Amino acid sequence: MLKEPETRPQRQPQAPSAGKRILVSLESFEQVRSLLVKFNADCDITFVVMIHDSDGVQIASSVDTTPVFIESSRRKRAANSKCIELVSCEDERDPAIEEAILGYFDGLEIGCEQGEFVYKSTRTDIDHRTVGFLISRREPVAGTDTSNDAQEARGKPRPFEIKRLFDALVYVSLQYCLSPRHSDTFFGLAPDLLSRAAAQLYLQKLSQEATGRMNYGLYELCCDLAAAQYEGRAGAGYIVLAKRGSANIKPSIEFRRPIHLSHNTGARKLIEMASQQFALLFDGDYFYGFVDFDQIQECHQILFKGRGIWTMQRGEQLLGMVSYGTPVEVDRILTKDVFQAHVKKCLPMVDAVGLETLWNIATIAAEQPVGTNILFTPGARHEAQRLSSQCIPIRPVALTPEVTTQLTAIDGTLIADVEGNVHAVGAIMDGGSTPSGTWQRGGRYNSAANYVTSSKYPSMIFIVSQDGYVDIVPPMNPKGDKWSMKRYLKLNSTAI
């Protein structure tokens, strides 16, 4: 008799609990991914979770949450067709993980021509897992090498480096996602805590680069100095990070007894002594003198811009901004270039002189202690007449700081022409309901959205909230996000 061929029992894939833990992680850390997107709006970010052992890998992502099992015996060399560069936070390479990652991305339906995958691994009592973020650019970078040699090089991970605040946020987020306390159960996430930890780490890196010392108390000191007042005045001045004895730094005034950073009150007095001519020198542990501004153009700097607000800079380059202890997304900071580009889009008739005038008015409005709306339109005179029953028409007057303070003392919108002259104050804006409005925003925003959509004139409304944030209608991005232009804050100039 012929024997029936033996059927080898199929090996069971990894325990279903591994896939469940992956799904829990993907759901739990969606807020982490969303936080990263806020700080890098030009990229798409995909969160990936892997649980692996000697038999294979369970892997899933925020794009495709169905866990995929890849057996070790069936693993093949990944082609890396999407030009994804691996960036490892590990000290040692693991080729098995690298091939599994690239193979997974090659089969994943995601519009990514270029990008980098930053990942980190850990081993716990439950499993051995890797988490990472695929940071994909929406538009390919010009001049990128797509040769076979270049793609082969991308298959080898490069070490992770913290060069930007966003890099620090990625690293802190990976640590958070791998923490045993958070890896399987969602305990709740306060995004501010992650962003603060990232800003603290980034400032430590800047301090180490500039002074050779990574001081862990510098971030808290800067937050305290920004929040403190000296005889009723908010702090406004520079701290320069520089080693003592640096060849390119010659102190104009040098202290006989340097002051340690733990002396908050003394440091606050030193900030008060800083002026438009002198900046305070800090060597990583001690304040040791003042230096002339001409010598600090390329130095790492900390600039205090008013109550609760300070920035990290390298010369004129803005590296990060902190408001009341929490970092602000740099791409949500309303700079002069961003504002004027949007004005050109909304009001194409405005010339170069008009762009400068409207920016000056915007900075004046942002400095006011109360919220306000300003409508800019070439039909300002006609609109002031049409809405005369629900506003106070006035003879055209240019907006100066003094005039703006007076005219914004009451509720309502200022109606101004594209030359910056106000034709009416206290206006109540009309207009039909529009899909661009949203219940999540206040009356100022929705009234502005209704008016701009219904108006027969090209229009742009600049809205300053009492918390110091600003909106522009029509919005500068599809989400209509608030922009950071805290009152009394001019980001491309000093506040002193």
Residue from 378, 373, 349, 366 nearest 443 by CA: 373
Q: For the chain, what is the domain count?
A: 3
- Which H/E stretch holds residue 453? helix 443-454
**Residue 185 pLDDT:** 44
**Judgement on whether residues 137 and 58 belong to the same structural domain of the protein:** yes
| Residue 3 pLDDT greater than 70, yes or no | no
What sign does the CA torsion over 439, 476, 197, 34 have? positive
Residues in the chain: 496
The verdict on residue 442 lying in a domain is yes
Q: What average pLDDT does this structure show over 363-391? A: 86
**Residue finishing a domain among 189, 209, 234:** 189
Residue from 395, 419, 401, 404 nearest 343 by CA: 419
Residue from 351, 345, 367, 371 nearest 460 by CA: 345
**Residue 490 pLDDT:** 38
User: CA 184, CA 448: separation in Å to the nearest integer?
Assistant: 45
User: CA 475, CA 472: separation in Å to the nearest integer?
Assistant: 5
**Judgement on whether residues 426 and 342 belong to the same structural domain of the protein:** yes
**Judgement on whether residues 317 and 354 belong to the same structural domain of the protein:** no
User: Residue 268 phi/psi, 5° resolution?
Assistant: -65, -40
| Residue 275 pLDDT greater than 50, yes or no | yes
| Residue 206 pLDDT greater than 90, yes or no | yes
For the domain that residue 400 is a member of, what is the CATH number? Answer: 3.40.1700.10
**Judgement on whether residues 249 and 306 belong to the same structural domain of the protein:** yes
**Judgement on whether residues 130 and 220 belong to the same structural domain of the protein:** no
Q: Of the segments 23-32, 102-111, 235-244, 376-385, which one has the largest average pLDDT value?
A: 376-385
160 or 408, higher pLDDT? 160
Q: What average pLDDT does this structure show over 227-247? A: 78
**Judgement on whether residues 77 and 224 belong to the same structural domain of the protein:** no
92 or 354, higher pLDDT? 354
User: CA 371, CA 466: separation in Å to the nearest integer?
Assistant: 4
145-163 per-position pLDDT tens digit: 545 454 455 557 899 999 9
**Residue 485 pLDDT:** 46
**Judgement on whether residues 460 and 364 belong to the same structural domain of the protein:** yes
Q: Are 157 and 86 in contact (CB under 8 A)?
A: yes
**Judgement on whether residues 37 and 137 belong to the same structural domain of the protein:** yes
**Judgement on whether residues 60 and 175 belong to the same structural domain of the protein:** yes
Residue from 203, 374, 284 nearest 383 by CA: 374
**Judgement on whether residues 368 and 293 belong to the same structural domain of the protein:** no
**Residue finishing a domain among 166, 189, 212:** 189
The verdict on residue 491 lying in a domain is no
| Residue 477 pLDDT greater than 60, yes or no | no
Residue that has been written with the tokens 């693993």 in this structure? 75
β-partners of residue 402 are: none
**Residue 176 pLDDT:** 86
| Residue 33 pLDDT greater than 80, yes or no | yes
pLDDT-derived band of residue 118, with 50, 70 and 90 as boundaries?
very high
β-partners of residue 287 are: 259, 282
Domain with 41, as residue range(s), is: 16-189
The verdict on residue 304 lying in a domain is yes
**Residue finishing a domain among 331, 362, 377:** 331
From residue 193, how far is each of 42, 240, 305, 482 by CA, in Å?
A: 23, 26, 23, 21
| Residue 78 pLDDT greater than 70, yes or no | no
**Residue 76 pLDDT:** 54
β-partners of residue 286 are: 260
Residue type, 477: N
**Judgement on whether residues 26 and 162 belong to the same structural domain of the protein:** yes
424-459 per-position pLDDT tens digit: 998 888 766 555 555 555 667 777 888 888 888 999
Q: Are 418 and 358 in contact (CB under 8 A)?
A: yes
The verdict on residue 490 lying in a domain is no
Is 437 in a helix, a strand, or coil? coil
Q: Are 201 and 234 in contact (CB under 8 A)?
A: no
Ranges 164-178, 233-247, 384-398: which has the least confidence = 233-247
| β-pair type (236-241, 43-52) | unpaired
pLDDT-derived band of residue 480, with 50, 70 and 90 as boundaries?
very low
Q: Are 486 and 367 in contact (CB under 8 A)?
A: no
**Judgement on whether residues 177 and 254 belong to the same structural domain of the protein:** no
User: CA 74, CA 44: separation in Å to the nearest integer?
Assistant: 30
